[in-house]
Structure 1
Amino acid sequence: MSPLTAAAVQGTIDELGMPLVSTTFVVVDLETTGGAPDSAEITEIGAVKVRGGEVVGEFRTLVRPSGGIPPFISVLTGITDAMVADAPPVTAALPSLLEFAHGSVIVAHNAPFDVGFLRAACTACGMAWPSFQVLDTARLARRVVARDEARDCKLSTLARLFRSGTTPNHRALDDARATVDVLHGLLERLGNVGVHTVEELSLWQSTVTPAQRDKRRLAETVPNAPGVYMFTADDGDVLYVGKSKDMRTRVRTYFTASETRARMTEMVSIATAVTGITCATPLEAEIRELRLIAERKPRYNRRSRFPERGSWIKLTVEPFPRLSLVRQVREDGAAYLGPFGSRRLAETAMAAVHEAVPIRQCTQRLSPKRHGSACVLADLGKCGAPCVGGESTEAYAEHVEIVRRAFTADPGTLVDGLLARIDALARHERYEEAALRRDRLATFVRSAARVQRMAALAAVSQLVAARRRDEGGWELHVVRYGRLAGAECSPPRADPRPYVDALVATAETVEPAPQPLPAATAEEAESLLRWLETPGTRLVRVDGSWTLPRPAAASYLARVDVGEADHAAARPFDDRRSFRPWR
């Protein structure tokens, strides 16, 4: 075989979708007493089951409504009150139809009308509407039939165009038979343009733009495997990065009506290629997505693009330390809290510390031997005034130690102080001030719990963990200093230990970052922690200690959550507009 000749490869069922030739369609038509399900009822149901172009079954029944049939409806359909007097009610007819249509694709002409009545009937009967896939021949015809062929897309018009053997006459079974012929005529035309599956047929009946439809080919080079996919433009610029357990299936959805996001439609119109990067495990795909977004900063991704912009609260190292907002963590012996997604959140957490602990808020550098002037906080008793010698370095160090422990270990002193302040405000009915301090406390505790968990993982030089896969075998991951260094899967029924050894030997070499930073982004560390803490994950090897202080900030989360839940529940009325003043 010539090296330029591609080998033929048989596609899998997942790649092919549901072939039209082997799909069972149930074509449904209803007659009703009116045009709206909330004010009208079904009087007749007709359905035809077809597969491979052949009729394999029919269903027909009159339905007795609870009220009379309007005269103009009787004139239109020929169905009278006398005809339905002995017919079954919808509670008996509907289950029979659903059983007849079970496992099929529902087809109707102007499907929203028929399906709307069937859904309403299910609700009235206390039944759940099955998750049928629905095709609308009217909607499909609008995209297939040219205007010079048919003046409209009514069933009668299309039945003449496709030479149906049944003339629509507003009786349910006859109209369903005519719809079958219309469906086959449409499928014959679409087969000539490469539509051979139900998924592709759904695409043609959808409201996708021609640009989206034409670019379905971009998904063909993407494998059916877990990994990361990248949409790129002509100039090679990465437009969007995503992840999926099945990349090709996920990428295909961007070219269908299921994709409703305007920015994604715009992105697809610009994209000229899709590249898939296969990953060994879903966790590796999640991590690779984060890294690629941070590295390439695709314009159509909204999250994770700028992890370097996070804010940190730093407890400075000087004779009289203070809190400072910084962008970077340095190896300088300081204590850090973060990262915060915005400066506002960082300032909220900092305010909680200042509320509970009287450390200075001024920015000048202080020396025990040289005093300055006191600020208004000293007059208010919110600072010990070390700037004028009001507090020695030893006494001030006690406040600093409370803050340092709150950052790195037990924030109990800070939490208790703020909770006491909140309770006092509530007793004096100063509820808005109490709520403000509660929000500050919640922001601080969550941030401290997050950074402590992250720092504990970042301190471990190597951690190997495994989780059993549903299909057999094990997902294996090597984590070094809070960064994913390797991922692999062992085959079903194979001893995983050789695969663990090989993965450890080939995993990425990682250098530690300044504490509490992991050797990756905070988002990556959180993804790793979520996976490690999922039930069923087993630790294989741990070099060093993976521990949290006791007690840690996480032990105070329940107290914070209870307070927020009480606040959320303390809304006596959702809407006061219905209340009338006393006369």
Structure 2
Amino acid sequence: MPLSPARLAGTAARAAAGLPRFEQATIDELGTPLAEVTFVVVDLETTGGSPKDSAITEIGAVKVRGGEVLGEFQTLVDPGCEIPPYISVLTGITSTMVAAAPRIGAVLPHFLEFARGAVLVAHNAPFDLGFLKAACAANGIPWPATASVDTAVLARRLLSRDEVPNCKLATLAPYFRTSTEPCHRALADARATVDVLHGLFERLGPLGITSLEELTGLTRQVDPDRLRKRHLADAVPHGPGVYLFRGPRDEPLYVGTSTDLRSRVRSYFTAGEQRSRMTEMVALSQRVDAIPCAHDLEAAVRELRLIAEHKPRYNRRSRFPERALWVRLTEEPFPRLSVVRRVRPGAGVFLGPFPDRRAADAAVAAVHESLPLRQCTGRLSVRVLGTACALAGMGRCGAPCTGAQSVEEYGGIAAVLRTAVAADPHALLAPLLARVERLAAEERYEDAAVLRDRAATLVRAVRRRQRLESLAAVPELVLARPDGEGGWQLSIVRRGRLVAAGCAARGSSVRATLEGLLATAETPLGPDGELAASVDETELVLRWMEKPGTRLVQVDGTLACPVPGTGGYTDFLDRVEAGRAGRDPFADGRSLGTRARPERVSSGAAMSR
């Protein structure tokens, strides 16, 4: 919340007088103090151990806040069945006692009203809350979204074996000298649990746990060593940016990004972080560095660059952008497809990038299904003729090695792929999709699904390449997005690379801020028309551009997508994605080699498009 002019003046006066300056901490940082939290401690008696075949016979609850009892709730409940004798011996509740009691459907609304807005507490909470949730579901009553605390789990975190042999309520009650002895009656057990809860709260002080958020985190499994490292987040500011966990030799262990650095870094020292590799990373960490950023795009880009530079051992994503794969149509008289790791300008047509070899091979197989490009790996000479391979006899290659196909004829077929990558993939994809329909009509559904997935991989690759090239062709691009507070988030992009980022706060001059950013923006190196950033970074920029509310402030050059492009295949990709959830992606282990004769594409047909 912004300070008023009077408070600002008062703060400035204190600073001028040499007096200490005080700042009020935010609610997010303080959390909810335990002394201000209302707890409802509940206990149930039931006819058995599972809500599937048992029912509630008694509910007892005590409402407390700040150590003071605010109210109690107790009622017997007619379970709708006979109470087993051994349960009656244990609890003292008989079928006769509950005969005139209300059913659970009539009791639940009153109990939920009693507990409304409070944190539920129970000893072995899954048992009691499980019965209550099942009863609500059976009676069509919505279960409220509320926090809960399990005193049994809390006791396991705070007490040692030397103090208590186990964490049963009957064991903890005499240890904490409860005013009520638990006796398997709901209200008495709830009163005893209240005293146990307060006794456990006294153990929280040395751990520095004073808020509800920290308490609920403690009741889940958390490494004590990790909990003791919370001080590493003390110097981390709020706001968007990048954080780096550093190890014993000051090496980066992990790089991450967040819109609120302090909250995100603090979460690594709570039970909310359950990943084993993160637990190991935090155990090694000695320092956390924070890099504040202007907005989320700058933070995401900096994260990518830091990961690519340092390759932290605990980061899995984007550690090796140089390992991305591309499908290349070679530049020679009879071009062929090959899978490569580097894009070299002028060395042919490049399609991709692909995340792994499997995706790249799927795209290659799709192209070979559609076009009779040669699949041999040697370089062919126009003058030296050879013998035809098996693919020529099967109609999957025009046999240019034997002279059966001229450079011009073969070039017309290769031009279909060049045209697809540059602007229009229709001639490349139409034979594939037509064959998918034929296979489905012949009830060869598995073959149709394999070919459909390969076609989808090819469409995505073409779409990705066209999007990247459209941004790489723009020498300079200025983007702006509302920051939600009356100001603007500004980004300057040159040839797909974020070169400057800033914010123009509400009431400040956007033009003046832009002039400063443009004056200090980075000048990317490399040839014009080529990406000046990694593919992942350029795609981050593209996604930021496409968010609702983003405005194009200034363009140097032309920002345009090829026509018709891949827009007409959006529905096809959506159908493929919708079907992906309903099948096992690893079920088909067949080779990615072509399996049927492709549709022949003549040079005349190719050039007519």
Q: TM-score, normalised by structure 2?
A: 0.87
Aligned to 2:502: 488
Q: How does 1:305-454 map to 2 (within 5 A)?
A: 305-332=319-346, 334-454=348-468
Which range moves more in the overlay, 498-507 or 232-241?
498-507
Aligned to 2:572: 559
How many angstroms apart in 2 are the aligned matches of 1:165 and 1:429? 75
Q: Does 1:469 align with 2:483?
A: yes
Gaps of 5+ in 1: 575-583
Taking every aligned residue pair, what percent have the same amino acid on both sides?
57
8 Å CA contact 2:473–2:528 kept in 1: the answer is: no
Distance 1:204 1:564, change over 3 A: closer
How many angstroms apart in 2 are the aligned matches of 1:76 and 1:431? 62
Aligned to 1:580: none
How many angstroms apart in 2 are the aligned matches of 1:111 and 1:566? 40
Distance 1:502 1:434, change over 3 A: same
Q: How does 1:253-268 map to 2 (within 5 A)?
A: 253-268=267-282
How many angstroms apart in 2 are the aligned matches of 1:394 and 1:169? 95
Aligned to 2:546: 533
8 Å CA contact 2:453–2:576 kept in 1: the answer is: no
How many angstroms apart in 2 are the aligned matches of 1:513 and 1:372? 40
Aligned to 1:119: 133
The CA RMSD over aligned residues, in Å, is 2.6
8 Å CA contact 2:370–2:428 kept in 1: the answer is: yes
8 Å CA contact 2:387–2:402 kept in 1: the answer is: yes
Q: What is the deviation of 1:274?
A: 1.9
8 Å CA contact 1:168–1:178 kept in 2: the answer is: yes
Give 1:205's match in structure 2, choosing from 212, 219, 233.
219
How many angstroms apart in 2 are the aligned matches of 1:568 and 1:29? 42
Task: Please give the secondary structure, in 2, of the residue aligned with 1:45.
Answer: strand
8 Å CA contact 1:406–1:553 kept in 2: the answer is: no
Which range moves more in the overlay, 128-137 or 360-369?
360-369
Task: Please give the secondary structure, in 2, of the residue aligned with 1:531.
Answer: helix
Give 2:165's match in structure 1, choosing from 147, 151, 175.
151
Which range moves more in the overlay, 79-88 or 408-417?
79-88
Q: What is the deviation of 1:548?
A: 1.0
Q: Does 1:36 align with 2:50?
A: yes
8 Å CA contact 2:475–2:528 kept in 1: the answer is: no
Q: What is the deviation of 1:567?
A: 8.9
Give 2:79's match in structure 1, choosing from 37, 41, 65.
65
Q: What is the deviation of 1:239?
A: 1.5
Which range moves more in the overlay, 303-312 or 554-563?
554-563
Q: How does 1:206-285 map to 2 (within 5 A)?
A: 206-285=220-299
AA aligned opposite 2:571: A
Q: What is the deviation of 1:8?
A: 6.4
8 Å CA contact 2:472–2:532 kept in 1: the answer is: yes
Q: TM-score, normalised by structure 1?
A: 0.91
AA aligned opposite 1:540: V
Distance 1:568 1:475, change over 3 A: closer
Q: Does 1:56 align with 2:70?
A: yes
Distance 1:217 1:559, change over 3 A: same
Which range moves more in the overlay, 386-395 or 489-498?
489-498
How many angstroms apart in 2 are the aligned matches of 1:111 and 1:570? 37
How many angstroms apart in 2 are the aligned matches of 1:294 and 1:463? 24
Task: Please give the secondary structure, in 1, of the residue aligned with 2:451.
Answer: helix
**Dislocated runs of 4+, deviation >6 Å:** 5-8, 566-571
The CA deviation string for residues 116-156 of structure 1, in whole angstroms up to 9 with x for no partner, is 11111121122332222111112212232333433332223
AA aligned opposite 2:365: A
Count of matched residue pairs: 568
8 Å CA contact 2:307–2:318 kept in 1: the answer is: yes
The CA deviation string for residues 55-100 of structure 1, in whole angstroms up to 9 with x for no partner, is 2222222222221222332333333333333333222221222222
AA aligned opposite 1:301: N
Aligned to 1:549: 562
Aligned to 1:130: 144
How many angstroms apart in 2 are the aligned matches of 1:161 and 1:118? 29
